[in-house]
Amino acid sequence: MKTIDELLADGVAGKRVFVRADLNVPLDGTTITDDGRIRAVVPTVKALADAGARVVVASHLGRPKGAPDPAFSLAPAAARLGELLGAEVRFATDTVGDSARATAAGLADGQVAVVENLRFNAGETAKDDAERGAFADQLAELADVYVGDGFGAVHRKHASVFDLPARLPHYAGHLISTEVGVLKKLTEDVKRPYAVVLGGAKVSDKLGVIEHLLEKADRILIGGGMAYTFLKAQGHEVGISLLQEDQIPAVQGYLKRAEERGVEFVLPTDVLVAGEFPDLRTKAPANPTTVAADAIPADQEGLDIGPETRKLYASKLADAATVFWNGPMGVFEHPDYAEGTKAVAQALLDSSAFTVVGGGDSAAAVRTLGFDENAFGHISTGGGASLEYLEGKTLPGLAALEN
Ligand SMILES: Nc1ncnc2c1ncn2[C@@H]1O[C@H](COP(=O)(O)OP(=O)(O)O)[C@@H](O)[C@H]1O
Ligand SMILES: O=C(OP(=O)(O)O)[C@H](O)COP(=O)(O)O
């Protein structure tokens, strides 16, 4: 994989460089609640701009449906990038249309622009190779060189991640190089006991990695929205909690395999439930109740692990030598459901383990709940991406940079 250092050494002044970043930051309206992913790409963008490149930054944000949707505009992220760079950052109101082409063409050496959300275009995420390719062709017109630095999206076979680098000279940015360097250590030389904590809401995306983790980890702790498919697989009712019904047979298989291999699977023994999802904007009191994990009422939703589970998980992490954690334990954005996530973060800090926290929301949780991000071994900007890397899968965005 060629890195940006080679590009910089060859000289990049006057060249139009397309930087595929992951600026998928959590927003409250148009306010960025955690800018970690923007800060993470600054070293790459700054190095290119300082070297006189004309930098076109692109990213997805959220999961819009292949058409413009103001709620998912990258405008706030572009403004924040400008603040962090201490320089003007231009913003194109489309991704490959008139605004993007004019903005890219109007850049002077050392200037930076952000184009609008890649996922406002159906071609970005299309399954069909030709449709993705056609969109990548349009993106390629904006630049002479491609720098891949959106680590959080390298597991996606999307036009800007996979097809575009095949059309331009391509290099890995500083963030991707750093992320891969750390995660590689976890695949090669892992100190045991090795505990993995999984939670969050992207359950269907992430359940599959457990099959591989069963061959690697000594202990797997499950929380967040993921826990309820496990509880259901054990025969418990989960009310209106997040559930991946079609994955129940697979999950039953994981539990069986874990037993055969002597991998300890730890599930919540109690959970916080409520009749409705909390209001994350007003943060109005949610008044949850604590119930046993095998006694979730039919009309209630599990939204955090309970106090007994917090203690249990802390004890299971205390003597670990390595911990990988992806996915909050509950809806941490609301204070009534943040305690589970806080307890896991604190347990990681209290242990002497090498700790890796991965994922946009997990990293944001650690910071917004007041923890010192430097106290963790590594905070990865990618959750799904780091999990699939650990799984040993070929990641489209990394393979494209290697070719
Ligand atoms: N029990 C739950 N039910 C619904 N959503 C949950 C639950 N627990 C956690 N979440 C949500 O999961 C989201 C993060 O999930 P995910 O995107 O998978 O993590 P990451 O970005 O760290 O990879 C958070 O917004 C959080 O509110
Ligand atoms: O937030 C992301 O992934 P993550 O939640 O697994 O860390 C990335 O920006 C990828 O987004 P996607 O899962 O909508 O493709």
Rounded-to-integer distance, Cα 337 and Cα 311, Å = 16
Instruction: Encode pLDDT of 214-229 as tens digits.
Output: 999 999 999 999 999 9
- 62 annotated ligand-binding residue: yes
Report whether residue 179 contacts ligand 2, using a CB cutoff of 6 Å. no
First-residue to last-residue Cα distance in the chain: 8
Q: What is the DSSP string of 39-68?
A: HHHHHHHHHHHHTT-EEEEE---S---SS-
Report whether residue 64 contacts ligand 2, using a CB cutoff of 6 Å. no
The whole-number pLDDT of residue 30 equals 94
Report whether residue 222 contacts ligand 2, using a CB cutoff of 6 Å. no
Please provide the average confidence, as pLDDT, over all residues in the chain: 96
The DSSP 8-state label assigned to residue 127 in this structure reads: S
The DSSP 8-state label assigned to residue 321 in this structure reads: S
Is the reported ipTM for this assembly greater than 0.90? yes
**Does 199 score more than 90 pLDDT?**
yes
Domains, the chain, with CATH or none: 4-174 (3.40.50.1260), 182-391 (3.40.50.1260)
> Which residue shows structure tokens 């967040």?
224
Residue 33 Cα to ligand 1 midpoint, Å, equals 15
Instruction: Encode pLDDT of 318-372 as tens digits.
Output: 999 999 999 999 999 999 999 999 999 999 999 999 999 999 899 999 999 999 9
Q: Is 384 a catalytic residue?
A: yes
pLDDT bin (cut points 50, 70, 90) of residue 167 is very high
Q: In ligand 1, which atom is closest to the CA atom of 382?
A: 23
- 86 annotated ligand-binding residue: no
> If DSSP codes are grouped into helix, strand and coil, which group holds residue 306?
coil
Helix boundaries (H) for 193-247: 203-206, 209-216, 227-233
The whole-number pLDDT of residue 186 equals 87
Residue 8 Cα to ligand 1 midpoint, Å, equals 38
Q: Is 37 a catalytic residue?
A: yes
For ligand 2, atom 8, which residue shows the shortest CA distance? 152
pTM of this prediction? 0.94
Rounded-to-integer distance, Cα 86 and Cα 363, Å = 24
Q: In ligand 2, which atom is closest to the CA atom of 156?
A: 15
